[in-house]
A and B are shown apart, each in its own frame.
Chain A
Amino acid sequence: MQTVTRNQLVEKAKELLNNGTVTRVLGIKKGEFSYDLTPAVFTSAEELEKEFEFNGFAAANFSKYLVKLADGEGKILVFLKPCDSYSFNQLLTEHRFNRENVYAVGIECDGFADYKKIEEEFNDGIKSVEFNGEKIEVTTLYDGKKELAFADYMLERCKNCKTKKIAAFDELLTENSDETKNTRFEEVEKLEAMTPDERYAFWRNELSRCIRCNACRDVCPACTCEKCVFNNPDSGVENKAIQNSFEENMFHIIRAFHVAGRCTDCGECSRVCPQHIPLHLLNRKFIKDINSFYGEYQAGAEVGNRAPLVNYTKEDIEPKDAVGRGSEE
């Protein structure tokens, strides 16, 4: 459940529109249901009043949109949750948008709900979802009302929230917190503890569901290439559809490698995957390895940081010592 309310955000947005600080507001628009929220640009108080929404499903990471939107006229207001703020800094580090065109308001985050998990709970249609403190009230089409504990139905990334610290902002709407949690590598560790055969079977099962819809890539704030290698016939790896297990592996290995050291672990890839492939487990493996090989590194912690793969020390671990090290720890 978010402590920040929709009204707080709307008021702040209106204030900044009215005093001329910004001309546009990047926010979220209401949908048909409580969960189908769409990122949108608002330019007037009326629009904000009418359509702006912020609830327990408003998980989208806004930062990637700035690559496109920060070019527009006038400043754009963006609300940065902790996750968004790391992506924001990483994009700035890579010169992907003009900081001067953005006004960032930091907002604290208490985690978002995972609609898929709620849906799984019922063989039923879901009429509405209300967030009420620690509870989620679900009204189903056929079996009436149900109450669920919010904590049990959070997105994976929120359950294992790495940090509640907002890394970038012009202004804070709420308190900034230093709270961090270190549970996010547990799943990776579980996999590392498996035998190679088990791991292979695990990933075959997961990746074989991939339909190469590119949702993971296209939502990823680290994937902002002008032209992705997978769309480029000259790259040697271009493909439109996955034909076999090799191509499944290829796509996901290369994508994870391309964002390695740049991925902030915002979890959007796993959130949007229509096949619910735990893609974050690939990225987190890289993050875990980077942390253990080269020292703790959080992409986007500061603008201008040198990503681990464009850096080195003379004493770096040798590949032969690195491989499999995770499972031995």
Chain B
Amino acid sequence: MKKILKKNLQNLFAAISKETDLFLPVLNSAKNAEFKKWTEGTEYSEELNTVRSAKDFFFPQTENICDFKTSGKNIEIIENSELPENFAVFGVRACDLKSFEVLDNVFLSEPVDSFYKTRRENAVIFTMACNRPKETCFCHTFNINAADPKGDVECFEDETYVYLNPLTQKGKDLLNKVTSALEDETEEPVKKIKAEIEERLKNLPLYNLSAESFGSDKTEEFFNRKEWDELSEACLGCGTCTFVCPTCQCYDIKDFNTGHGVKRFRCWDSCMYSDFTKMSAGQPRTHQKERFRQRFMHKLVYYPTNNNGMFSCVGCGRCLKKCPISMNIVKVIKKLGGTANG
């Protein structure tokens, strides 16, 4: 276990930055946190959630696939993916870290998504335990422990120090390169922090939320529930929930005609959109209700069915804050998941 005085954090960031690009949550002008590349003077924000989740590092909103260059009647294919070299991310929360696992199941299973894979391999993740989880946090529901955030290097903080505990070889290697900025420390202070956090989690308003009634092979049980009508009636069909969600993974592949060629890229898509998976015969889910249902069924039933019962929600609470009409997965779980949830 290593530690560093909070006021000296910049030294650590500087040291890491010498080795590799470093990204960390920074408060932007709208007073929201977003991941930004560290440069001299960039302040780390203790804000719990960034607006955009950490999935952007591995699955960015848009990504070049290749170019087709035309000249006259000729066409040539040019590789142009912009994959990053090694990089480190500091301040990833437990929920977002778990979301990588959700994405891995999709992108790293055959056929492997090489872009995603390269990015994952090139990253060192510093997590940060959540000292002050918010009322919208429910990672606990999905067996995620905000006091035990994992990652390549797991970090904890108290008033004065940030504690760093490398867990993987990648994490150890990077920390070894920056030891001069760090002091050694025992497990004790972190144990205290963990205990405090665990106590706090129990007092969260959504602590008792349970997704137990959902899971693998429950399609028939939930698909035709009449409550979907009511839950979806106010949905505007925008993509906010999917775009702030750390586990939403759908994308579209599009071509942009530049005038002298075509840029093929992929970009996030949203199952909430009316043109999602539109085919020659139209979009299979013709109503917003069906699209709405798809999103939650996927998180709570379809994904678990295909991934050994693992849910594809990590309880980060972003959608609770960002949905324009405040409809969200908690309301869905409560409505459909039985009385246990109040």
Contacts and interface: CB of A to CB of B under 8 A. Distances in A.
Direct touching of A and B (C-beta under 8 Å)? yes
B30 A276 contact: yes
Interface string A124-135: 111100000000
B205 interface: yes
Interface string A79-91: 0000000000000
A18 to B, nearest CB: 22
Given A32-B206, A274-B51, A124 B325 contact: no
B172 interface: no
Contact of B238 (A38, A206, A219): A219
A214 B238 contact: yes
Interface in A188-238: 205-206, 209, 211-215, 217-219, 231
A209 B27 CA distance: 12
A32 B329 CA distance: 11
B238 to A, nearest CB: 4
Nearest to B47: A123
Contacts of A60: 325
29 contacts: A32-B205, A32-B320, A33-B135, A39-B234, A40-B230, A41-B233, A65-B234, A120-B31, A123-B47, A123-B132, A125-B137, A127-B135, A141-B135, A209-B32, A211-B61, A215-B236, A215-B322, A217-B238, A218-B236, A219-B324, A219-B325, A240-B273, A241-B62, A241-B267, A242-B62, A274-B51, A274-B240, A274-B244, A275-B51
B224 interface: no
A37 interface: yes
Contact of A125 (B135, B273, B274, B325): B135
Contacts of B153: none
A17 to B, nearest CB: 18
B240 A276 contact: no
Given A243-B256, A272-B240, 19 more contacts: A31-B331, A32-B320, A40-B233, A40-B234, A65-B234, A124-B134, A141-B132, A141-B203, A142-B200, A206-B30, A209-B30, A231-B274, A239-B254, A242-B62, A274-B240, A274-B321, A275-B30, A276-B31, A277-B30
A36 interface: yes
A310 to B, nearest CB: 27
Q: Chain A interface mostly helix, strand, loop or mixed?
A: loop
B133 interface: yes
Interface string B46-88: 1100011000000001100000000000000000000000000
Nearest to B263: A243
A35 interface: yes
A32 B341 CA distance: 11
Contacts of B240: 213-215, 272, 274
A268 B324 CA distance: 9
B154 interface: no
A297 B206 CA distance: 48
Contacts of B325: 38-39, 60, 219
Nearest to A127: B135
Contact of A213 (B200, B234, B243, B265): B243
B330 interface: yes
Contacts of A38: 234, 325-327, 331
B38 to A, nearest CB: 18
Interface string B137-160: 100000000000000000000000
A36 B233 contact: no
B29 interface: yes
B269 A240 contact: yes
Interface in A7-64: 31-33, 35-41, 60
Contact of B243 (A125, A126, A211, A276): A211
B80 to A, nearest CB: 13
A40 B325 CA distance: 10
